[in-house]
Amino acid sequence: MSENQVLFLSFRETFIVKSIIKKLEEKGVSCAFSLTDLRSLEQAKDRLSPLVYLYIGDKDDLDPQGMVYLRDLITEHDCEFYIIGYDDIINELRENFFREQITGIFHRPVDVGQLVDEILPEVDKERTLENRKHILVVDDSGTMLSTVKGWLKDKYRVTPVNSALNAITFLSKQRPDLILLDYEMPACSGPKFLEMLRTDVDCGDIPVIFLTGRDDADSVRSVIALKPAGYLLKSLPRDRIVGEIDAFFEKQKSMQ
């Protein structure tokens, strides 16, 4: 992740985008810019920022390969992702590329001053988030990933991934403080993933809490030998789940 606080993306460097970047920089926010074609995005990887804003015109501006690459990039690095555009193109992007990744939407036409005023608090929030505990959520349900991130994002940095394979890719680059792990997933189940994780020299000691719909005794017994830090049911109330995670970190803190 670069030192830039905001990355702006657009099919071309429009007057509006230039104006937004200029006003943000006048407020002390470091910004970067990239075009949205695949080649440009690949070159912009080293300038990726915690906050990514995509300013889009119409469907003709879309580079499908670029959008797929961008989706994978912001997912891997847990970026906050915002789209600035008209309703039809926003709906197309949501349906075809960014089902789970969109943090917020700004509808065109936009007032530059108002948009900058709305971006500034997000920049301040990201500055404070750097010191928060980092949780990796692994679940094949996009709905569950969005729900859990919504529950936790005000207290923790949260990275959602939809498969064990994507979790392994993430762990090769970053080390979270806790993993929330689904039990039943295609290709590689939660217990199988945890079994592999425990053999890894660098990541084998990362605490793992199961967050699952499996409440039968056999499922619980089957993972005890893998020493998870907890076993929570998805059917529990939100406050109970968040409270258990808070308690886990409080216990860790008291032991240090």
Amino acid 239: pLDDT: 95
Output the pTM of the full model.
Answer: 0.59
Read off the pLDDT of residues 92-125 as tens digits, 9 standing for 90 and up.
898 889 888 899 999 999 999 999 999 998 888 7
* 3-class DSSP state of 177: coil
pLDDT, tens digit, for every residue of 144-176?
998 998 899 888 988 888 899 989 988 988 899
pLDDT reported for residue 12:
87
- Beta-ladder partners of 3: none
Task: Give residue 155's Cα distance to chain centre.
Answer: 14
208: Cβ contacts below 8 Å, ≥ 6 apart: 178, 179, 180, 181, 194, 197, 226, 228, 229
Q: What is the mean pLDDT of each run of 10 residues along the chain (256 residues)?
A: 80 91 93 93 87 85 88 84 92 87 91 93 78 90 90 88 90 91 91 92 92 82 85 93 95 81
- Give the domains, in start order, of the chain with CATH numbers: 6-129 (3.40.50.2300), 134-255 (3.40.50.2300)
State the pLDDT at residue 1. 54
Those residues whose C-beta lies under 8 Å from the C-beta of residue 16, and which sit 6 or more positions away, are 55, 110, 112
Nearest to 29 by CA among 155, 125, 107, 108: 125
DSSP states along 206-234 = S-EEEEES--SHHHHHHHHTT--SEEEET
Measured from the Cβ of residue 235, the count of other Cβ atoms closer than 10 Å reads 10
